[in-house]
Amino acid sequence: MSMQTDPISVLLVDDHYIVRAGIRDLLIQGAGANLSEPLTLSEDGVGEAGSGQEALKAIQEKSYSMVLLDFNLPDMNGLELLRRIKALKPGLPVLMFSSYAESEYAMACFREGAAGYLSKDALPEEIRRAIRTAASGQDFISPTLKQQLFSSVRPQSCEPHERLTSREYEVFIGISRGVPLGEIAESLKISVKTVSTHRAKLLEKMGMKSNAEVARYVEKRRLDKQSASF
Amino acid sequence: MNKGSYFNRGKLSLAVRLLIGVGLVMLIVGSLMVIMVLRADIKMEKEQFSRRASEQADFIRMSITEMALVGDYATIRQMLRSRVQDEALDRITWSDDEGKTIKEESKELLDTVPEWFVQFVGITPIIESSVIEVGGAHYGVVTIQMSPTSVVKRIYGRMLIGIESTVFAMVILFSLIAIVTARSLGPLKLLEAAAQEIEKGNYSVRVTPGGSSEVRGPIMAFNAMATQIEVLLGQMRKLAGRMEKAREEQNKSIARELHDSLGGNLTMLKLGLGRLSEIAGEDHKCQPKIKSLLDLSDSTIHLVRDLTAALRPSMLDSLGVLPTIKWYAGEFSRMTGIECQVDLCKDAVCSKEHSTALFRVVQEALTNVARHSNASRVFINACEEEGKLVVEIVDNGKGMAEVINKDVSNGTNSFGIIGMRERTQFMQGEFDISSVPGRGTTVAISIPIGKT
């Protein structure tokens, strides 16, 4: 399932020489080697940049198939550089290459237009596959990351009233019993203004508009039986 | 919980004691004085009374003698009638030698004085008779009857005035004592209220010096003490803040060093091993060894990653506080098994220092949930409201019996809460912890966010 045979060129952006050397070695050795999914590199197919500024200069001087971008750079944040590259060359695929495994980083990078998010502890084969996928214009997500992303957007199961803070909950129960806001304020030892703020917020959280809705909800779930300070 | 007044515990207040003391003294002195004056009065009146009786009898006898000589009976009657008007006289009788009444004048005296007082004064009515003789001839007997009623009435009236003035003097003195003690000791009440404010954690309270000089001194000393507490508290906060900052900086630098050097080397080691495995070829006899080394490097990389994140999540700097909270919530769920749901608003920007502090507060709140709440679920809500970032951590645990919303608390377990409060104060924010027993605890933090 080799997706492309056109020779590709890659810009490696990383402030650590040893990382760049390692990846270069992996790409060059991999080109045409006896591997299941070899890479075809163009003539002078690997460029290197040790900082954000160098990277910006390099993409303007030469046309690359894709950029492999480290998240941590000395002169600018990887996200910042990604934004700048995308501003200069919106069509250039940028594959983030990061030592951070958390999906929050990947999400932030995707939001800025990254073509993929690759962990630095990936094996050579996955690195080559990611580069190839990105260079061909497709998005790359590693299987572990895919799992994390899925679980992070899985629907949340708690009932709306469980999201109310203790104070909002007490106002909520007070409203359901038809207690005037002034009395609620008195028994909670807070101002009437604060009680109205709580009321507005809890209605928003519950997706409700009226006190009657609150009363119905409380009655239906028998929340009234639980303790509240009235 | 009102502990009540420190002053009145088991003892009467100074004002009341003064009033009772002075009242007793005045009662005794007043009564003694009234009795002494009364006695002197009675003695004097008694003497006067008997003197007057003999005077009256003499006068009447002489008058009748004179007038009887000329036989002017009309004048005698008139004289007797006017004489009987004398306050002490109630009856004048002129009778002949056989005891037959020739002339008699009398008047009714109204007795308005209590019987016991009459007994007490002890002046008995006087009846005095004298024989009228003109040139050896007898003209009958004049008898005057004198009643002490009006005298006793006068004495009684004077005694009443004495008692009234004593009571009046006591009222004036009592009011004076009340006014003076209220004015001079009143500021002590203010002092007490201020001390209770300090107990509640409001250290900025001061008392305006007032009252007597004895009270003014303690008030000024109290104010100086309160100032000193504030200064010390400020220094403590500053020191804690500095230590906190230093610790964060240190954690950050250790984490960076771990990540950059150790983590970097480890990933390169793993990449090299991967390359080695490729070069050796699938069937090479070293493959099992390489595989186990790869596994080892994987677990070491994870170890470094966990260590780094435990020191300080670098995400705080690169992605901001909200994604970090979201990430930590996931980690928390994974570690504790407590379901943690997060609802975050769009990126709210806050400074790096505040990001760290806010993250630490959330971290502490979640630690408390895991440690004390028995909750099965936590809900984290973060949203922007009127220029403030509001973060709420709502758990469904057992709640707290008594919420410690004081600045300083005595419990040793509540250092976490003190820490959260201090950090929130450092961010110029508001910290609130509330609980419905059986329904869970809520920690709410609201901090101002700049539009940068």
Q: A50-64, A136-150, A151-165, B211-225: which range is least confident on average?
A: A151-165
Chosen from A15, A148, A165, A202 to mutate, greatest number of chain B CBs within 10 A: A165
Strands B126-134 and B137-146: antiparallel
Q: In this complex, which of A121, A156, A229 lies closest to B267 when CB atoms are compared?
A: A121
**pLDDT > 70? residue B49:** yes
Where is B432: in which H helix or E strand? strand B430-436
Q: pLDDT digit string (tens) for B21-36? A: 888 998 899 889 888 9
User: From CA B307, how far away is CA B298, in angstroms rounded?
Assistant: 14
Q: For B21-47, give the DSSP string.
A: HHHHHHHHHHHHHHHHHHHHHHHHHHH
Contacts of B399 in chain A (CB under 8 A): 166
* Predicted pLDDT of residue B266: 92
**Mean per-residue pLDDT for B421-443?**
87
Chosen from A25, A83, A100 to mutate, greatest number of chain B CBs within 10 A: A100
Question: CB of A118 within 8 A of CB of A136?
Answer: no
Question: CB of A27 within 8 A of CB of A131?
Answer: yes
**Mean per-residue pLDDT for A46-72?**
91
- Rounded to the nearest angstrom, the minimum Cα separation between B242 and chain A is 27
C-beta atoms surrounding B44 within 10 Å: 11
User: From CA B311, how far away is CA B248, in angstroms rounded?
Assistant: 8
A107, closest residue in chain B (CA to CA): B323
**CA nearest neighbour of B426 among B198, B157, B220, B238:** B238
- Rounded to the nearest angstrom, the minimum Cα separation between B406 and chain A is 15
Between B298 and B411, residue with greater pLDDT = B298
* Predicted pLDDT of residue A35: 62
Question: CB of A117 within 8 A of CB of A126?
Answer: no
Between B61 and A30, residue with greater pLDDT = B61
Q: Which of residues 372-401 of B touch A (CB under 8 A)?
A: 377, 379, 381, 392, 394, 396, 399
Question: CB of B107 within 8 A of CB of B90?
Answer: yes
Question: CB of B211 within 8 A of CB of B191?
Answer: no
Contacts of A129 in chain B (CB under 8 A): none
Chosen from A111, A166, A187, A193 to mutate, greatest number of chain B CBs within 10 A: A166
Q: Which of residues 196-255 of B touch A (CB under 8 A)?
A: none
SS3 B341: strand
* Predicted pLDDT of residue B412: 46
Across the interface, do A124 and B275 touch by the CB < 8 Å criterion?
yes
Give percent above pLDDT 90 in chain B: 21
B77 touches chain A (CB under 8 A): no
With cut-offs at 50, 70 and 90, classify the pLDDT of residue A4. Answer: very low
Largest CA distance in chain A: 81
Give the angle subtended at the CA of B300 by the CAs of A149 and B352, to the nearest 5°: 60
With cut-offs at 50, 70 and 90, classify the pLDDT of residue A48. Answer: very high
* Most confident listed range (B139-143, B254-258, B405-409): B254-258
Chain-wide mean pLDDT for chain B? 84
Q: pLDDT digit string (tens) for A154-205? A: 666 677 888 888 888 888 888 888 888 888 888 888 888 888 888 988 888 8
**pLDDT > 50? residue A135:** yes
* Predicted pLDDT of residue A3: 47
Across the interface, do A166 and B441 touch by the CB < 8 Å criterion?
yes
Across the interface, do A104 and B394 touch by the CB < 8 Å criterion?
no
Q: In this complex, which of B330, B394, B436 lies closest to A152 when CB atoms are compared?
A: B330
**pLDDT > 90? residue B320:** no
- Quote the tokens at residue B86: 């004398």
What single-letter DSSP state applies at residue B259?
Answer: I
Phi, psi of B378 (to 5 degrees): -125, 145
* Predicted pLDDT of residue B154: 85
ipTM of this predicted structure: 0.81
Type of residue numbered B374: N
B430 touches chain A (CB under 8 A): no
Chosen from B271, B326, B392, B430 to mutate, greatest number of chain A CBs within 10 A: B271
* Predicted pLDDT of residue A1: 43
User: From CA B286, how far away is CA B276, in angstroms rounded?
Assistant: 10
Q: pLDDT digit string (tens) for B268-280? A: 999 999 989 988 8
**CA nearest neighbour of B440 among A77, A158, A49:** A158
Beta bridge mates, B378: B340, B395
Task: Compute, in degrees rounded to 10, the torsion defined by CA atoms B272, B276, B277, B280.
Answer: 170
pTM, two decimal places: 0.68
Across the interface, do B442 and A26 touch by the CB < 8 Å criterion?
no
- Rounded to the nearest angstrom, the minimum Cα separation between A176 and chain B is 16
Chain-wide mean pLDDT for chain A? 84
**Mean per-residue pLDDT for B53-74?**
81
Contacts of A71 in chain B (CB under 8 A): 318
